[in-house]
């Protein structure tokens, strides 16, 4: 499977600004030491605990509101998670258009359509290492050296395209749309 075609971005809509050449570095980690994402917080919000949705009751915890950068990173990761769900089995999920716009949505839905047409599916995940380059209340730019670990299977469920430790550098523009 063409690695750049799996490109995705998000925040309740986003645009993939550019998928750049593969990252450097060795043994599956980020290409270079990168500053951490922003972690500034303020008191007061309630969030659903990770893994609680869809598994019975909802677990909630009181936490601090997240910054635009933190929201962008979460949405970016959610877009990758949704992409891999859409590829196994391949089908265009409504959440893709809730998480992506522009080239990111077009490339992702195109890849899902190709996989479905071929009778193939992909199992795997993308490990992201995003760094906030700039952030406003409505737009965040992320720089990421993502590591893909996946396998494409044909209609007979035979492996055809492994992507173990494949690194790709992404420069992603994440836009906030709507309220909240």
Strands 139-153 and 131-135 come out as antiparallel
Greater confidence (139 vs 34) lies with: 139
Mean pLDDT of 139-165: 96
Mean pLDDT of 131-160: 97
Confidence class for position 178, pLDDT limits 50, 70, 90: confident
Over residues 56-83, the pLDDT tens digits come to 455 555 566 689 999 999 999 999 999 9
Query: Which CA distances in Å does 123 have to 7, 13, 81, 84, 118?
Result: 16, 24, 11, 7, 15
What pLDDT was estimated at residue 34? 41
Kindly tell me if the per-residue pLDDT of 172 is higher than 50.
yes
What pLDDT was estimated at residue 50? 33
* Cα–Cα dist 57/35, whole Å: 37
Mean pLDDT of 80-97: 97
Q: Is 180 helix (H, G, I), strand (E, B) or coil?
A: coil
Confidence class for position 177, pLDDT limits 50, 70, 90: confident
What pLDDT was estimated at residue 133? 97
Q: Is 115 helix (H, G, I), strand (E, B) or coil?
A: helix
Contact indicator for 101, 13 with CB cutoff of 8 Å: yes
Enter the pTM of the model: 0.70
Confidence class for position 46, pLDDT limits 50, 70, 90: very low
Contact indicator for 111, 122 with CB cutoff of 8 Å: no
- Considering the chain, what is the average pLDDT of its residues? 75
* Cα–Cα dist 168/7, whole Å: 9
What pLDDT was estimated at residue 62? 54
Annotated domain spans of the chain:
3-25+66-175
What pLDDT was estimated at residue 73? 96
* Cα–Cα dist 164/144, whole Å: 17
Kindly tell me if the per-residue pLDDT of 33 is higher than 90.
no
């Amino acid at each position: 499977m063409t690695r750049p075609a799996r490109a995705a971005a998000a925040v309740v809509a986003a645009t993939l600004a550019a998928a750049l050449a593969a990252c450097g570095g060795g043994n599956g980690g980020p290409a270079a030491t990168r500053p951490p994402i922003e972690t500034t917080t303020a008191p007061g919000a309630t969030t659903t605990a990770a893994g609680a949705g869809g598994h019975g009751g909802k677990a909630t915890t009181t936490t601090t509101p997240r910054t635009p950068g933190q929201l962008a990173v979460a949405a970016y990761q959610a877009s990758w998670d949704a992409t891999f769900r859409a590829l196994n089995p391949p089908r265009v999920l409504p959440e893709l258009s809730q998480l992506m716009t522009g080239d990111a949505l077009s490339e992702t839905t195109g890849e899902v359509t190709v996989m479905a047409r071929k009778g193939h599916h992909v199992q795997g995940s993308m490990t992201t290492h995003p760094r906030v380059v700039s952030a406003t209340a409505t737009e965040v730019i992320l720089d990421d050296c993502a590591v893909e670990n996946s396998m494409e299977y044909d209609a007979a469920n035979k492996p055809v395209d492994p992507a173990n430790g494949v690194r790709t550098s992404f420069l992603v523009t994440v836009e906030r749309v709507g309220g909240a």
